[in-house]
Amino acid sequence: MGFAAISGTTYAIDLTLLALLFDVFGWPYPVAVTTGYVVAFGLAFVLNRWLNFQSHGPLGRQTGRYVVTVVANYLLFILALSTTLEALGVHYLAARLIAGACEAVFMYVMMRTYVFRLKRYT
């Protein structure tokens, strides 16, 4: 529930920035989508670490893992998928929504199993 609320909020920020930068200011799509993405995922890291996963692990290690995850997500879904869909004629917001559905699953799995994983001692 927490992940969905945080993701929904930061995704709304992402899409709002995308619409403003692309439609209003006329920025190129890859630049507009990247800017929205960077702002939203910076906020998502802070909120997920603090509120959702309540992590007290080493900040440096988690930040490094998060950066690796975000870069992979960015390349796969944000640039490759959404830009390809937009270039094929899919409305830019629809392209971003489709990519967002894919990224939501990817990001949750990666945050749960890699970024904020709990060490189990037996």
Check: pTM over 0.75? Answer yes or no.
no
Distance (Å, rounded) from C-alpha 59 to C-alpha 65? 10
**Straight-line distance from the first to the last Cα atom of the chain, in angstroms, rounded to the nearest whole number:** 29
Question: Where do runs of H (alpha helix) occur along the chain?
Answer: 2-19, 29-47, 59-73, 83-87, 92-110
- The token pair at 110 is 């990666």
Summarised one tens digit per residue, pLDDT across range 57-111 is 788 888 999 999 989 998 998 789 988 999 999 998 899 889 989 988 999 999 8
Distance (Å, rounded) from C-alpha 118 to C-alpha 92? 38
DSSP reduced 3-state for 51 = helix
Summarised one tens digit per residue, pLDDT across range 21-51 is 999 999 998 899 889 988 998 999 899 888 8
